[in-house]
Amino acid sequence: MPVDIRARVLSNAHLSPDYNVLSLAAPEIAATCQPGQFVMVKPGRGTDPLLRRPFSVFEVLRDTAGVPTGITILSKRIGVTTNLLHQAAEGDLIDCLGPLGQPFALVDPPAEAWMVAGGVGLAPFATVLEALNAKGTPATLFYGARSAADLFYLDWFRDRGARLALATEDGSVGDKGRITIPLERELTAATGKAVTLYACGPEPMLEAVSNLATRYGRRCEVSVERIMGCGMGGCYSCVVPLKDGKGGHHFVRSCINGPVFDGAEIVWE
C-alpha cells in the first residue's frame, strides 16, 4: 500500500549538467520498496507541473544501524519536473507517493542476473544489485550511454561486486556503439549458463535487448517508461500493448501491471 510523503531533500548530487541524484527522507517508502518499484514525484505545490511524474527508486538509504531512512532517484533534465528536481536544494519538500508497481523477479544463484541499462535507464539498478547481492546472485551490469561522461556510478556498482560491460556511442569507453554489442557477444559465449536479463532504458534498446534475449533463449524482464497520469491505475494513460495470445494485443496499465514486464509479452511498436 503506497504512502504519500512530503519528503525533505537530504542532498542533491549533480552528476553532470543534465543528471542528478536526489536523496529524499522517506523512511516509510524505503522500508517497503522492492527493486524495480517506482515513486510518483511532484516538486512544488502549484499547477506547473500539475501531475506527478514516475521515477524508479534508485537507492534505498539506510542509517548506520541498517534502518531504511530514505530513497534516491536518478533524474535527467528533460522537462519541467526534472528541471525542478535538478534545481532542488537541501531542505526542499517534494511530494513522493509510493512505492508503486510490480518489482523485478530476481533470480537465485547459481543463475546469473545481467542488468542492461541505457542512459537514465540505470535508475532501478542500484536497488536491484543490492537485492541480488543479498541473494548471492552473480550480477553483471551492461551499461550504455552517449559517451564516457554520461556513465555514472561505475565505482558504486564495481565496489558492490557487479561485473561491468560498457558501451558508448562515441567509443570513449567500452564498445563503440550500442549496449547490444557487448550483450550479444556475451550471450553467444554464455552457453550452458543460466542467465536472466533485466533491462531499463530507451524503448528501442528495450526492444533490441528483448529480441536478443528471445533469440538466445533467455528470459528478459524490462522496465518500461510511459507517460503516466496517476501511478495508481486510475487513469489508463500509461498502457502497454501485451500479446493477447490470438495474434493481437491488449492494453495493460504499466503503473499497476508493470512497469516491469516480460519482454517477450510486449508487442513492440
Partner 1 sequence: MGVTTPDLSVQIGSLRLANPLIAASGCFGYGLEYASTIDLRTLGGFVTKGLFMTEREGHPPERIVETPSGMINAIGLQGIGVHRFINERLPEIRKTGATTIVNICGTSIDEYAEVARALSQAEGVAALELNISCPNIKEGGIQFGCHLGGTFDVVSAVRKATHLPIIPKLTPNVTDPASFAKASEDAGADAVSLVNTFLALAIDIETRKPAISNGMGGLSGPAIRPIAVRMTYECAKAVKIPVIGMGGIASARDVLEFLIAGAAAVQVGTANFVDPFIWSKLLAGLTDYLTRHQIARVADLVGTVDFSKH
Q: Enumerate binding residues for partner 1 (CB under 8 A).
A: 1-2, 4, 42, 47-52, 95, 97, 226-227, 229-230, 232-239, 241, 250-251, 256
Cβ distance to partner 1 smaller for residue 190 or 232? 232
Mention every residue, 6+ apart, whose C-beta is less than 8 A from residue 194.
107, 110, 111, 112
From CA 233, how far away is CA 254, in angstroms rounded?
A: 8
What phi, psi does 141 have (nearest 5°)? -110, 115
Cβ distance to partner 1 smaller for residue 52 or 86? 52
Give all strands (DSSP E) within the chain, no chain letters. 3-14, 19-25, 38-43, 53-56, 59-62, 68-76, 93-100, 112-118, 139-145, 163-168, 175-176, 195-200, 219-223, 239-243, 249-253, 260-262
Taking the complex as a whole, the smallest distance from the CB of residue 118 to partner 1 amounts, in Å, to 20
Helix and strand element counts for the chain (H, E): 6, 16
Taking the complex as a whole, the smallest distance from the CB of residue 151 to partner 1 amounts, in Å, to 28
From CA 254, how far away is CA 238, in angstroms rounded?
A: 6
Taking the complex as a whole, the smallest distance from the CB of residue 150 to partner 1 amounts, in Å, to 22
Nearest to 258 by CA among 240, 236, 244, 245: 240
Taking the complex as a whole, the smallest distance from the CB of residue 97 to partner 1 amounts, in Å, to 7
Nearest to 130 by CA among 57, 78, 75, 194: 57
Taking the complex as a whole, the smallest distance from the CB of residue 80 to partner 1 amounts, in Å, to 8
* Single-letter amino acid, residue 116: V
Cβ distance to partner 1 smaller for residue 105 or 227? 227
Cβ distance to partner 1 smaller for residue 47 or 188? 47
Cβ distance to partner 1 smaller for residue 185 or 250? 250
* Single-letter amino acid, residue 187: L
Cβ distance to partner 1 smaller for residue 211 or 257? 257
Cβ distance to partner 1 smaller for residue 15 or 51? 51
Taking the complex as a whole, the smallest distance from the CB of residue 51 to partner 1 amounts, in Å, to 6
Q: From the CB of residue 191, how many other CB atoms can be counted at a distance below 10 Å? A: 8
Cβ distance to partner 1 smaller for residue 154 or 232? 232
Taking the complex as a whole, the smallest distance from the CB of residue 232 to partner 1 amounts, in Å, to 6
Give, in order, the Cα–Cα distances in Å from 94 to each of 45, 99, 165: 9, 15, 35
* Single-letter amino acid, residue 96: C
Residue keyed to cell 527508486: 57
